[in-house]
Amino acid sequence: MQEILGTLYPWLKAGHLIFVIFWMAGLFMLPRFFVYHQETAPGSAEEAAWVERERRLLRIILAPSIAVVWILGLALAFTVDAWSQGWFHGKLALVLVLSAYHGWMAGYARKLAAGDRRLEGRRLRLLNEVPGIAAALIVVLVVVRPF
């Protein structure tokens, strides 16, 4: 099995990077959608449009992307025996944080769709920084491999 994965390594890596880009794009877009959504009048047609946009972003881009990122990422980890490398543990921890963030954002989308506007725009704008910071740290861990 590992021999087959080794042969496919460049393709696994390319696919992983492509879907990471899709996933990150969605994670950057969703909190911004929430800000715009919360600025609309409750019950308006504009609010309904934002609910639909958020639903589509989650269903069409974010859900498939996170699944493919995890599948290809785990395949890559097995291919290079990353489990024994310190940088990978850091990367894995950050990907788990991003996955939890993704789940939280999906939950908040459901709350917004139900009319529950718990967070203010400023807090959502700050939350929008989470994926960028995590991505920067992950890139450093993967490229520099400081430990």
Residues in the annotated binding site for heme: 16, 91
CA 111 centroid distance within chain: 19
Residues at the binding site are 16, 91
Q: Is 63 exposed, middle or buried (0-12, 13-18, 19+ CB in 10 A)?
A: middle
| Angle between helix 63-79 and helix 86-113 axes, rounded to 10 deg | 170
